[in-house]
Structure 1
Amino acid sequence: MKTIVICSGGLDSVSLAHMVADQHTLTRLVSFDYGQRHRKELDYAARAATRLGVPHDIIDMRPIGAALTGSALTDNIDVPDGHYAEETMKITVVPNRNAIMLAIAFGVAAANKDDAVATAVHGGDHFIYPDCRPAFTQAFEVMQKAALDGYADVSLYTPFVHRSKADIVTEGAKHNTPFADTWSCYKGGAHHCGRCGTCVERREAFHLAGVQDPTIYEDPDFWEKAVADAAAKGVK
């Protein structure tokens, strides 16, 4: 199956790229610059493409991202600390981001006669990101089948949509993903902050998977408190 992977440069999508390269025919990585404060993640996606020997397309969505206001990822709003399951993390939603990216990726796949678009949405995303949920991905694939009817037959590949981030770490390790060469932190500093939702989730995932975490965190122990706080509130 000729497959393109939407790759941000994060742990999930880079692990997916390595898995697809091993199990299918990886044809290219597609990344998006939507004005995210952690744009440095795109450098990690570029290195993944070089490592896997495939082309890397970076789609400039900055004008679109500028119009999708109200998110801590694109506006001058502080990224909150804590677990993803906290209500405060909804400030990191960029409205319709995945729907827009997927629509572009399907066009790229159709133009290049690929069979599938792979995206690394997973179970941990469901709480705050509606365009990561199974109902969305299923409906989106149906819509794209109609949009490309008679021109191309492209499927949506979401192997992690019902799985946890710990499962992704396990899968990534199986396919020799260099975890140290991935970027998750939404704050985009010199090192992972260890406090934002994606850092907490990353650190917790390695712990649950029983895999050594090579990431340098500015606050390596904060995740335990964040997980405990979320559990106490009944949201984890």
Structure 2
Amino acid sequence: MRALVLLSGGIDSTTCLAMAIDRYGKENVVALSALYGQKHTKELKAARDIANYYNIELIEIDLVKIFAYSNCSLLSHSKEEIPHSSYAEQLEETKGETVSTYVPFRNGLFLSSAASIALSKDCDLILYGAHSDDAAGSAYPDCSKEFNDAINLAIYEGSGKKLKVEAPFVNLHKKDIVKKGLELKVPYELTWSCYEGKEYSCGECGTCIDREKAFELNGAVDPLVKIREGR
């Protein structure tokens, strides 16, 4: 079994990568990262550092032009400010609509691109780190089980039944992902989740809040908090 893993540089995708390496061996794992016009590239640097740590191949693709028409607050050309509040608070404001950091159909585009590359690299499987917290309340609808089931079927049929898509965390919460990652000794100090591209994680955006809480629920401290606080 050969697997291609979508690697953003955050804790979900990095844990997914570690699981793939644990299951199939690093010689059977390829990582894929995408430039899509982010306000910063710290997550891409994190992905490179993680790939180097595990000594695996990392492929990088440029999808910037596709997202040029979006006003998502994560994108460099957007004038929208990144919200400094929890996803639950953001969903209250949007009344159940997608949050401002939702990049339109990003996972769909990533996975479609990944399918072509995976077939060319003789992979049997694509893995990505979508989980139930992101899908909750339609904050990120392309992280849901329904989306995963649909795109898995599309890619399986469209690849001549040669390629499947799995989101191993789709029914889990971020605290469950961190628990698994701690067991696998994932180098979380190399990861980056913060939507701000500053020297240290902000601790205030939705992804920072969720990330730090996940570590707390596992009786641990996020290593990026230790770095930020100089511990």
How many residues are matched?
Answer: 217
2:45 aligns with 43
Q: Give the counterpart letter for 2:40 in structure 1.
A: H
Residues 1:155 and 2:164 aligned together: yes
In the alignment, is residue 53 of structure 1 matched against residue 55 of structure 2? yes
Closer, same or farther in 2 for the Cα pair 1:218/1:79, shift >3 Å?
A: farther
Alignment-derived partner of residue 182 in structure 1: 191
Q: Report the AA paired with residue 30 of structure 1.
A: L
Show structure 1 runs of 4+ deviating over 6 A. Answer: 217-220
1:105-116 superposed matches below 5 A: 105-116=114-125
Note the alpha carbon deviations across 1:195-231, whole angstroms, 9 max, x for none. Answer: 00000000110011222321138998xxxxxxxxxxx
1:56 is paired with a residue of what secondary structure? strand
Q: Structure 2 counterpart of 1:148, which letter?
A: S
User: Residues 14 and 182 of structure 1 are in contact (CA less than 8 Å); yes or no, is this contact kept in structure 2?
Assistant: yes
SS of alignment partner, residue 117 of structure 1: strand
**2:148 touches 2:166 (CA, 8 Å); kept in 1?**
no
Q: What corresponds to 1:12 in structure 2?
A: 12
Partner of 2:35: 33
Change over 3 Å in CA distance of 1:104–1:122 after alignment to 2: same
Distance 1:84 1:219, change over 3 A: farther
The 1-side partners of 2:227 and 2:65 are apart by 32
Give structure 1 stretches of 5+ with no counterpart: 221-236
Provide TM-score, normalisation by structure 2. 0.89
Q: For 1:135-150, list aligned pairs within 5 A.
A: 135-149=146-160
Q: Partners in 1 of 2:22 and 2:42 — Cα distance?
A: 26
RMSD over equivalenced CA pairs, Å: 1.7
TM-score scaled by structure 1? 0.87
Question: Whole-Å Cα distance in 2 between the matches of residues 30 and 185 of structure 1?
Answer: 20
CA distance in 1, matches of 2:126, 2:120: 12
2:102 to 80, 83, 93: 93
Unaligned segments of structure 2, at least 5 residues: none
CA contact (8 A) 1:195 1:219 kept: no
Identity of aligned residues (%): 34
